[in-house]
A and B are shown apart, each in its own frame.
Chain A
């Protein structure tokens, strides 16, 4: 009799694999940079292209690095959230303008508001490669020692900010239930 159960069991196992596998987001690639030192950079500043922004400018304090571009639709959606984070004055946001056009980027900041303490202009995309960026927007939380402690892919939202990033910045416990999809933090 038991042999008739085998196809049923095999089928159930397959269904199990599909239920788990198909619900995963294939665009969400785990970053090997969590817990590693944030890459060093020195680039021209979007706001004042004759000046430079470098990774050393914010060493010794927690800061967010937000990768954006004017060609990125999600970034426009995210921008309001970044402005409200900036208004809270909890953490400086450093922008990384990825493979963009300088005048469009300047106009973007003028029109939509500038949430960044400074925006680095990565026209060649080299710093983005160092950060392992494969889409925009992406946001990294760098700690006092220059270590990447959290990464979020996709637009930031209120939940991620209030329940994950902000608690981590303030040395409080983040809401673990929100982690693992697009948001990962080094343990």
Chain B
């Protein structure tokens, strides 16, 4: 059983080998790191729940080519992201910018957490009070 399990886990590590680009885009590791970071930030608009790093769609391949060329030409990350949002809008970014339209998106979870904590505290305090009155009653009972 154990060898099978180990073999299975090892085979999972091969999944990385199925990444879309077969060869690294750049020889310079710093450029390659920026390239990889950017491909993971951009959405493939054909298959909307994939980044262009993961997607096999031709549009994703075209956008990766665009990215490679712009990085090779010395463009900054901001330049590249601006190029993409100028054409495809904020939706192309996996991490939407913080602005009026997206306030609820960014702050909603925190707000819900605060509401939850508030409710929890109220319930705990009430329970504690109930328990307190119950023991008070008992003590009074015993005293009588």
Chain B residues near A49 (CB-CB < 8 A): none
CA distance A154 to B48 in the complex (A): 17
Among listed B19-27, B59-67, B129-137, interface-contacting one: B59-67
CB-CB nearest in chain A for B61: A125
Q: Which chain B residues in 37-94 approach chain A with CB under 8 Å? A: 45-46, 48, 58-59, 62-63, 66, 85-89, 91
Q: Are B62 and A134 in contact (CB under 8 A)?
A: no
Chain A residues near B63 (CB-CB < 8 A): 129
Q: A129-B66, A135-B46 are contacts. A31–B89 as well, Cβ < 8 Å?
A: yes
CA distance A29 to B84 in the complex (A): 14
Dominant secondary structure of chain A at its interface with chain B: loop
Chain A residues near B91 (CB-CB < 8 A): 29-30
Chain B residues near A129 (CB-CB < 8 A): 62-63, 66, 87
Instruction: State the interface size on chain A (CB cutoff 8 A).
Output: 18
Chain A residues near B45 (CB-CB < 8 A): 29, 134-135
Which bucket holds chain B's interface residue count? 10 to 19
Q: Are B87 and A131 in contact (CB under 8 A)?
A: yes
CA distance A26 to B66 in the complex (A): 25
CB-CB nearest in chain B for A71: B58
Residue A160 is within 8 A (CB to CB) of chain B in the complex: no
CB distance from B110 to the nearest CB of A (A): 18
Q: A99-B58, A129-B63 are contacts. A134–B89 as well, Cβ < 8 Å?
A: no
From B46, B59, B87, contact of A32 by CB (8 A): B87
CA distance A98 to B81 in the complex (A): 23
CA distance A27 to B89 in the complex (A): 13
Q: Are B87 and A29 in contact (CB under 8 A)?
A: no
Chain A residues near B62 (CB-CB < 8 A): 99, 124-126, 128-129
Chain B residues near A135 (CB-CB < 8 A): 45-46
Q: A26-B48, A29-B91, A99-B62 are in contact. List 13 more A-B contacts (CB 8 A).
A: A27-B48, A29-B45, A29-B88, A32-B88, A125-B59, A126-B62, A128-B62, A129-B62, A129-B63, A129-B66, A134-B46, A134-B59, A135-B46
> Which residues of A approach B to under 8 Å, CB–CB?
26-27, 29-33, 99, 124-126, 128-132, 134-135
Sort A-B residue pairs by CB-CB distance and give the 6 closest, nearest first: A134-B45, A132-B87, A32-B89, A125-B62, A29-B91, A132-B88
